[in-house]
Each structure stands twice: as C-alpha cells, then as structure tokens.
Amino acid sequence: MKHQQPRMGSNRTGVQMSPLDARRMHEQHVELAPAAPQSPASAATADMRARYVADAGPLGSVPPPGSVKGVLNTGVAMISGNSPQLLLDKLGERLAFERTATRVLDMLITKVRSSQGDDGEALVPLDQLLTMREQEAGHFALVARCIEELGGDSSAQTPGGDLVGMESAGLLQVICDPRTSIVQSLHALLISEMADHYGWEILVALAATQKHTAMQREFELALEREAAHLQYVKAWFERHTLGAPTAPEFPH
C-alpha cells in the first residue's frame, strides 16, 4: 500500500494512445453509435425491458410472524393504525447494512495494518477504526434484538435487506480489492457512512411514529455514533486528499 496518490503510468485506455484506430472509429461513428431514442431498435429494446418490468414480482417480502408474540404484536400495531411490516423491513435493511459495514471495516483495518511499515505511520488511526468496527457490530446486534422483540425473525432477509445487500456489494468489492489504496477505500467507506447515517434517521422516525419509545432512544444513540463515524471518515479522507488538518480524537 505504498501508492496513496494517483500516479502516472502505462495507462492505455484512452483513444489518444492509438490515433489511427481512433480516426477509424470516428469514421465509423454512424455504424457504432447507439440507436437514436425514436429508432426501431431502441423502441424494441425499451419494449423488451418494459415486459420484464411488468412480469417481475416484488423484491422479496416481509415474513409473517412465526410466534404467538409476533402475531399479537402485529395485530395490535395494525389495529393502532401502524405498519409493523414497514418497521420490520427497515430493521431488516439496517441489519443487512450493518453486517456489510462491519466487514468493510474489517478489510480496511487489514489494509491500514499492512501499510504502517511504509511511511512510519498509519494513514488512518487504527484504534479509531477498531472502535468504529465494534460499534457497527454492536448496531448489528441491536437491530437483531429489536427484530426479535417485535416477534420477527432476524435471520430472514426482507426486501430492504435484499436491496442494500445489492447496493453495498460494490462498496465491499472496492475495499476488498488489494489494488485499491487506503484513500480510495476511504471514499467507499464515506459513501457507506452517508447511507448508514440516513438509514438510522429513518429508523428513529419510524420508531417515534409507531410509539416504540425504548427503541427510539436506542436508535438515537446509534444515530449519534453514526454521525461521529461520518464526521471522522470525512475528515480522514479530506486530510489525505486536500491536506486538511488531522481529525480530533475519536470519542469512544
């Protein structure tokens, strides 16, 4: 992990590296260009995609309660005008995201440890990363417990969980790639923390709307920690990209 700044190299992806081929490609631009929006080819493609959309089912479902407690909780919530399935779906979403966030930090910790011998100091404070990792794992445990308290199944994958699993797969892929630098990995982590912060905001609002007061307080604490994560990841990234001052000490 010696190269933290972009460097000039043997990059041959641009057309300037092969002027003759670029000229021939330009001469054939009519043949190579994508179909115009109103052309028969583009209309056929759009029609095929529309059929796929029309025939597709939903992205999973929220499982029905598998216990007497869950049935009672769901019934009471629905009588009260709430949507327990929405809260369970968003809890499943956070559960899946916190699992991935923990794995993302595990990989970044490995990269930071491997880089310490390169320039005598870690590019990101290792102790702060370890604290973040434990807090993300704690958030996973919190969400799993809340799902069980509502009578849900924390092992089930809800539509929201399926969605963020696909969304966050790319972030995990970036950080797991051994070629990406710590700064590049921090960019992926920054995207993760921004999404995570908003996800907890939604959970706080849902818990308040459905009058789960105890859960709301726990979610607010998690949101505070995620706000701190976002602040420090942003500071680390800006320090190495813009030469910004070192971030202050991370609160435990």
The 3-class secondary structure across the chain, one letter per residue, is CCCCCCCCCCCCCCHHHCHHHHHHHHHCHHHHCCCCCCCHHHHHHHHHHHHHHHHCCCCCCCCCCCCHHHHHHHHHHHHCCCCHHHHHHHHHHHHHHHHHHHHHHHHHHHHHHHHHHHHCCCCCCHHHHHHHHHHHHHHHHHHHHHHHHCCCCCCCCCHHHHHHHHHHHHHHHHHHCCCCCHHHHHHHHHHHHHHHHHHHHHHHHHHHHCCCHHHHHHHHHHHHHHHHHHHHHHHHHHHHHHCCCCCCCCCC
Helix 84-119 × helix 182-209 angle, to 10°: 160
pLDDT of residue 147: 94
pLDDT of residue 79: 44
Among 146, 170, 123, 116, CA closest to 221: 146
Tell me what pLDDT residue 58 has.
81
**What is the Cα gyration radius of the chain?**
24
Place of tokens 């800006």: 238
Low-confidence ranges of the chain (pLDDT < 50): 1-3, 68, 75-76, 78-81, 120-121
- Report the alpha-carbon distance of residue 216 to residue 142 in Å, rounded: 12
Report whether 230 contacts 183 (CB < 8 A): no
Supply the pLDDT for residue 66: 60
Q: What is the pLDDT of residue 207?
A: 95
Whole-prediction pTM value?
Answer: 0.77
* Per-residue confidence (pLDDT) for residue 35, from 0 to 100: 58
- Residues listed for the chain: 252
Q: According to the model, what pLDDT value does residue 63 have? A: 80
Return the structure tokens found at 187: 């960019």
pLDDT value of residue 61:
86
> Within its chain, how far is the Cα of 184 from the centroid?
15
Distance CA 194, CA 168 (A): 12
| pLDDT at position 87 | 94
